[in-house]
Chain A
Amino acid sequence: MNIEGVLFYFFAAILLLSALRVITARNPVHAALFLVLAFSTASAIWMLLRAEFLAIVLVLVYVGAVMVLFLFVVMMLDINLDRLREGFWSYLPLGATVGLLMVVEMVLVLGGKYFGLEHLPNPADPGAGYSNTKELGRLLYTDYVYAFELAAVILLVAIVAAIALTLRGRKDSKHQDPAKQVMVKRADRVRLVSMPSEKKEN
Chain B
Amino acid sequence: MMELYAKIIAIGLGFAQGLFGPALGAALFTLVKTSVLIMLIVAPLLGAVAYLTLLERKVIGYMQVRIGPNRVGPLGLLQPIADGIKLVFKEIIIPSGADKFLFVLAPVITLTVAMAAWAVVPFNKGVVLANIDAGLLYVMAITSMGVYGIIVAGWASNSKYAFLGAMRAAAQIVAYEIAMGFALVCVLMVSHSLNLSDIVNGQAKGHFADIGLNFLSWNWLPLAPMLLVYFISGVAETQRAPFDLAEGESEIVGFHVEYSGMLFGVFSMGEYANMILVATLTTIMFFGGWAAPLDSAIFNAIPGFIWLFAKVLCVLFLFLWFRATFPRYRYDQIMRLGWKVFIPLTIVWLVLIAAWMQTPFSIWR
CA of A56 to CA of B141, assembled, Å: 6
A2:B141 contact, CB within 8 angstroms: no
Chain B residue contacts of A52, Cβ below 8 A: 132-134
Contact with B along A45-68 (1 / 0, CB 8 A): 000000011001101100111001
CB interface residues, B 132-187, toward A, < 8 Å: 132-134, 137-138, 140-142, 144-145, 147-148, 151-152, 155, 163, 167, 170, 174, 177
Chain A residue contacts of B151, Cβ below 8 A: 68, 71-72, 75
CB interface residues, A 176-200, toward B, < 8 Å: 176, 178-179, 182
Tell me if A's interface is mostly helix, strand, loop or mixed.
Answer: helix
Known: A56-B137, A59-B145. A75 touches B23 (CB 8 A): no
Contact with B along A133-177 (1 / 0, CB 8 A): 100000000000000000000000000000000000000000010
A36:B141 contact, CB within 8 angstroms: no
Closest-CB distance, B29 to chain A (whole angstroms): 12
Known: A52-B132, A56-B138, A178-B332. A65 touches B194 (CB 8 A): no
B134:A60 contact, CB within 8 angstroms: no
Known: A60-B144, A65-B174. A133 touches B194 (CB 8 A): yes
> Which residue in B102, B133, B152 is a CB contact (below 8 Å) of A133?
B133
Q: How many inter-chain residue pairs (CB < 8 Å) link A and B? A: 63
Contact with A along B123-139 (1 / 0, CB 8 A): 00000000011100110
> Which residue in A2, A33, A72 is a CB contact (below 8 Å) of B170?
A72
> Which residue in B137, B167, B174, B194 is a CB contact (below 8 Å) of A60?
B137
| Any A CB within 8 A of the CB of B27 | yes
A176:B332 contact, CB within 8 angstroms: yes
Chain B residue contacts of A176, Cβ below 8 A: 332
A59's closest neighbor in chain B, by CB? B141
Chain A residue contacts of B132, Cβ below 8 A: 52
| Any A CB within 8 A of the CB of B328 | no
| Any A CB within 8 A of the CB of B70 | no
B141:A64 contact, CB within 8 angstroms: yes
CA of A72 to CA of B151, assembled, Å: 8
B150's closest neighbor in chain A, by CB? A68
CA of A141 to CA of B145, assembled, Å: 29
Known: A59-B141, A75-B155. A68 touches B147 (CB 8 A): yes
| Any A CB within 8 A of the CB of B296 | no
CA of A27 to CA of B275, assembled, Å: 34
Chain A residue contacts of B144, Cβ below 8 A: 59-60, 63-65
B27:A72 contact, CB within 8 angstroms: no
B141:A60 contact, CB within 8 angstroms: yes
A68's closest neighbor in chain B, by CB? B147
| Any A CB within 8 A of the CB of B64 | no
Chain B residue contacts of A2, Cβ below 8 A: 23
| Any B CB within 8 A of the CB of A12 | no
| Any B CB within 8 A of the CB of A19 | no
| Any B CB within 8 A of the CB of A24 | no
B332:A36 contact, CB within 8 angstroms: no
Closest-CB distance, B3 to chain A (whole angstroms): 23
Contact with A along B327-339 (1 / 0, CB 8 A): 0001011001000
B133's closest neighbor in chain A, by CB? A131
CA of A65 to CA of B178, assembled, Å: 10
CA of A178 to CA of B335, assembled, Å: 10
CB interface residues, B 197-253, toward A, < 8 Å: none
Chain A residue contacts of B23, Cβ below 8 A: 2
CA of A3 to CA of B144, assembled, Å: 30
Interface centre among A52, A56, A72 (most CB of B within 10 A): A56
Closest-CB distance, B4 to chain A (whole angstroms): 26
Contact with B along A4-44 (1 / 0, CB 8 A): 00000000000000000000000001000100100000000
CA of A52 to CA of B330, assembled, Å: 40
B188's closest neighbor in chain A, by CB? A133
Chain B residue contacts of A29, Cβ below 8 A: 155
Contact with B along A115-146 (1 / 0, CB 8 A): 00000000000000001010000000000000
Closest-CB distance, B131 to chain A (whole angstroms): 12
Chain A residue contacts of B333, Cβ below 8 A: 178, 182
Contact with A along B23-49 (1 / 0, CB 8 A): 100010000000000000000000000
> Which residue in A57, A72, A178, A179 is a CB contact (below 8 Å) of B167?
A72
B142's closest neighbor in chain A, by CB? A59
Interface centre among B102, B132, B148, B163 (most CB of A within 10 A): B148
Nearest 4 CB-CB pairs, A to B?
Answer: A64-B144, A60-B141, A59-B141, A56-B137
A33-B102, A64-B145 are known contacts; what are 6 more A-B pairs with Cβ within 8 Å?
Answer: A53-B134, A56-B137, A60-B140, A63-B144, A68-B147, A72-B167
Mark A residues whose CB is within 8 Å of B. Answer: 2-3, 29, 33, 36, 52-53, 56-57, 59-60, 63-65, 68-69, 71-72, 75, 131, 133, 176, 178-179, 182
Chosen A-B contacts, 24 in total, with CB atoms closer than 8 Å, are A2-B23, A3-B27, A33-B152, A52-B132, A52-B134, A56-B138, A57-B137, A59-B141, A59-B142, A59-B145, A60-B140, A63-B144, A64-B145, A68-B170, A71-B155, A72-B151, A72-B167, A72-B170, A75-B155, A133-B137, A176-B332, A178-B332, A178-B333, A182-B333
